Structure 1
């Protein structure tokens, strides 16, 4: 009897341990999200676009290719992608190619066959193409959605001219560019409403502008040479202006510098309206106009402009932080411009992690072309929101030609945090990889993944990345 009781006790304990172990293993090892990366299928700029996709493992952040991916992006040279809140639809902006098959698009050599391709997100993260849509201008460069997923906005570098079949120019001026912005040329924003059931896009016309035929204009003019745009606190803001001749050139004439212009955004009907009568010129850390702006990002309730100028004090780039004031005017934070790390250059994008304690800037290169890319981390002061570089930064610096477990991969195009707020990923154009790191929520440090290399290859140069926590 004693033996039987003892045996039952041992068996019960063993079964309990097995169940606990099994449950622990199941809880720790599951897919926490899907990561999608746009790019091209080879290093040739004329190659067709593709979308790669990966499952993110909750336990160690490991990326595993999704079945059925990569898939064609629906066009050439995809430059941006948007995944709607809820994770049901993905939209990819394919920029197309110029007359020689390249990816550099200008008003005199515009890219042909640009489009927005809609994909439905199915079970296990598979992407199925649905419909194709078109912007109303030329040379589209950016794509965003509003926070509710009701509207999709595309930024075109060139609005059409009087002859709508060609970009606006001095010989083919756009009358609305002239009347609203005082120049014969400008960019534009095309806005679509989104059907929440089918994901289908419908063009939103400009209720404030009427053409000579009496119909509403199909786009919203924005300042010339748009670089990037973002949605912030009820405004859509464009960063625009022709770049200075080089990162080392100092712009001294304000009207030659780059600007930010806010439009009031109506979340009910998708309309944009002017909130200020003039553009806002922005200045760098030395008080000169910015001439090498690369991005404008709304993150953690602040607007940040990234600038790639090599300033007179030798700093190779900077972050310009702002709050949003009356009518969308940007107000510099106390302390003003924040220098990029001296070992990095060409900041292209940033993110604020979920707890809003740290900000991370992805840099495409080191201090010179022979140095690898890196991520610079900043501590966000909880009271003033001022940025100070984290003591362990920069993270993920990789030397060209040297295999390093801490490398970001060459020339990152984007940076994001996974849905479980444990990992940070970059998608990289220079070596066609995706790189992941563990995010320490207490120190802000980005450290090596455990149980895998932290880097996975893709079929060609990356251009953008998006993530979703919807996994069913």
Structure 2
């Protein structure tokens, strides 16, 4: 009988130990996703400055801390990469290399002729392997995006390859323009092939291999079946030009033409929760609630909905002031639950050696009825110097910025109740050093 009692106690002890181990295993760290950052090499071997690189990190599900993916960083396959997209269930990554340091305004730079798109395959451990290289039709490409199906890639070129076709698409008297190059994406290999312009022909009668857009493009967005190009200059003001989009990748001229907006220093056109936001780096004066004293802040956010023919309808309440202490808004992220919006303010990012006090993250609450943005309690929040992008991890717990001025990645914990941001837990590994200034970041949620 004693033996039986001992055996029973031993069995119960084993069951208890198993339960403890089971609970422990539930809180073990694991990778919830991968973070990729494009940037420019400024440290390393001699002669490597200016070369494009891709850095990659594993995201810890419990802490949000980052660990470098084996074999990274690696070459982007060109110089000065700007944007990138993940397609076909994150099996392929496409990186757009601009070619030169500032090809949108300095087209004479010989390096600008080396612009390309490099395709990478993505392994289950997040590692990248270079595959093929493709080229846009225009000059000085600086934006790349994809449709929701992943069947088409669009690239915004600052300069069209042939100005003689500008008037045919945009109207008599138009002598210069940019363009959008559209590619089909092969669902098996990821290979890119051109979508020809079925609406506009070249002077020789052949189909154009691109879609003209107004001169001086700043940014571009696919929203509500329209491709919206933001163009303009401080001297002339900014405007939006729509193309209608269909699932074949074809762009057709919308019934609406150029639409002027109340901005002259726009930096980006971004989407969030079915709305369109234009970020504008010019002062706005307003009177805060519960105050009779006007306040001037250096930048603003212009919210719109997309109407008939791609026209932008100003949202009730009008322009939203950016936070007073920060400038140069470059990127907007609407978090996954549709409650909050965050804006990355880069400040003065003209000098990569400057630690900029004018940069950080502004947080906004989305009103459930009016959809208007109101400043979040505790905003602004910290980031590295000169954030150039914002991403949310696949578990909706953390936000990350990749920073131009101090060549870093920084992470924050997102409060699920009120949306405020705080530092990652622990005393170390809150800032991750890159090999050079960051340009863009994106998240891969496929981990196997």
TM over 0.5: yes
Pick one of 90, 93, 98 that aligns with 1:95. Answer: 98
Q: Shift in Å at residue 180 of structure 1? A: 1.9
- What residue in structure 2 maps to residue 176 of structure 1? 166
- 1-structure distance, mates of 2:94, 2:201: 29
- 2-structure distance, mates of 1:300, 1:24: 38
- 2-structure distance, mates of 1:275, 1:282: 18
| Superposition map of 1:198-237 within 5 A | 198-237=189-228
Q: Give unmatched runs, 5+ long, in structure 2.
A: 286-294
Pick one of 416, 431, 438 that aligns with 1:455. Answer: 431
Q: Which moved more, 1:346-355 or 1:5-14?
A: 5-14
- What residue in structure 2 maps to residue 106 of structure 1? 105
SS in 1 for 2:114: coil
SS in 2 for 1:365: coil
Pick one of 255, 272, 276 that aligns with 1:276. Answer: 255
Pick one of 249, 262, 280 that aligns with 2:242. Answer: 262
**Residues 372 and 318 (structure 1 numbering): CA distance in 2 closer, same or farther, change over 3 Å?**
closer
- What residue in structure 1 maps to residue 421 of structure 2? 446
**Residues 329 and 179 (structure 1 numbering): CA distance in 2 closer, same or farther, change over 3 Å?**
closer
SS in 2 for 1:207: coil
Contact persistence 1:344–1:366 (CA under 8 A): no
| TM-score normalised by the chain length of structure 2 | 0.91
Contact persistence 1:119–1:127 (CA under 8 A): yes
| Superposition map of 1:207-356 within 5 A | 207-244=198-235, 256-267=236-247, 269-283=248-262, 290-311=263-284, 314-356=296-338
- 2-structure distance, mates of 1:316, 1:4: 80
- 2-structure distance, mates of 1:436, 1:11: 45
**Residues 2 and 443 (structure 1 numbering): CA distance in 2 closer, same or farther, change over 3 Å?**
farther
CA displacement, residues 275-310 of structure 1 (integer Å, 9 cap, x when unaligned): 134211011xxxxxx111111011111000000112
Does residue 75 (structure 1) correspond to residue 54 (structure 2)? The answer is no
Contact persistence 1:160–1:174 (CA under 8 A): no
Does residue 395 (structure 1) correspond to residue 381 (structure 2)? The answer is yes
Q: Shift in Å at residue 243 of structure 1? A: 3.2
CA displacement, residues 111-140 of structure 1 (integer Å, 9 cap, x when unaligned): 121000000001311101111000000001
Contact persistence 1:177–1:221 (CA under 8 A): no
- 2-structure distance, mates of 1:361, 1:198: 36
Q: Which moved more, 1:310-319 or 1:1-10?
A: 1-10
Q: Shift in Å at residue 365 of structure 1? A: 2.3
Runs (4+) off by over 6 Å: 366-369
- 2-structure distance, mates of 1:45, 1:440: 40
Contact persistence 2:268–2:331 (CA under 8 A): yes
- 2-structure distance, mates of 1:138, 1:155: 9
- What residue in structure 1 maps to residue 137 of structure 2? 136
Q: Give unmatched runs, 5+ long, in structure 1.
A: 162-172, 245-255, 284-289, 397-407
CA displacement, residues 69-114 of structure 1 (integer Å, 9 cap, x when unaligned): 11110100000111115110000000002xxxx4344375251210
- 2-structure distance, mates of 1:300, 1:384: 13
SS in 1 for 2:8: helix
Q: Shift in Å at residue 343 of structure 1? A: 1.2
- 1-structure distance, mates of 2:17, 2:251: 61
Does residue 56 (structure 1) correspond to residue 55 (structure 2)? The answer is no
Contact persistence 1:264–1:273 (CA under 8 A): yes
SS in 2 for 1:442: coil
| TM-score normalised by the chain length of structure 1 | 0.86
Contact persistence 1:379–1:388 (CA under 8 A): yes
CA displacement, residues 139-197 of structure 1 (integer Å, 9 cap, x when unaligned): 01100000100000000000023xxxxxxxxxxx4233365244200110000000111
Count of residues paired in the alignment:
428
CA displacement, residues 286-339 of structure 1 (integer Å, 9 cap, x when unaligned): xxxx11111101111100000011246521111100011111111011101000
- 1-structure distance, mates of 2:402, 2:116: 22
**Residues 394 and 263 (structure 1 numbering): CA distance in 2 closer, same or farther, change over 3 Å?**
same
Contact persistence 1:416–1:426 (CA under 8 A): yes
**Residues 365 and 339 (structure 1 numbering): CA distance in 2 closer, same or farther, change over 3 Å?**
same
- 2-structure distance, mates of 1:460, 1:387: 34
Contact persistence 1:343–1:366 (CA under 8 A): no
Contact persistence 1:366–1:372 (CA under 8 A): yes
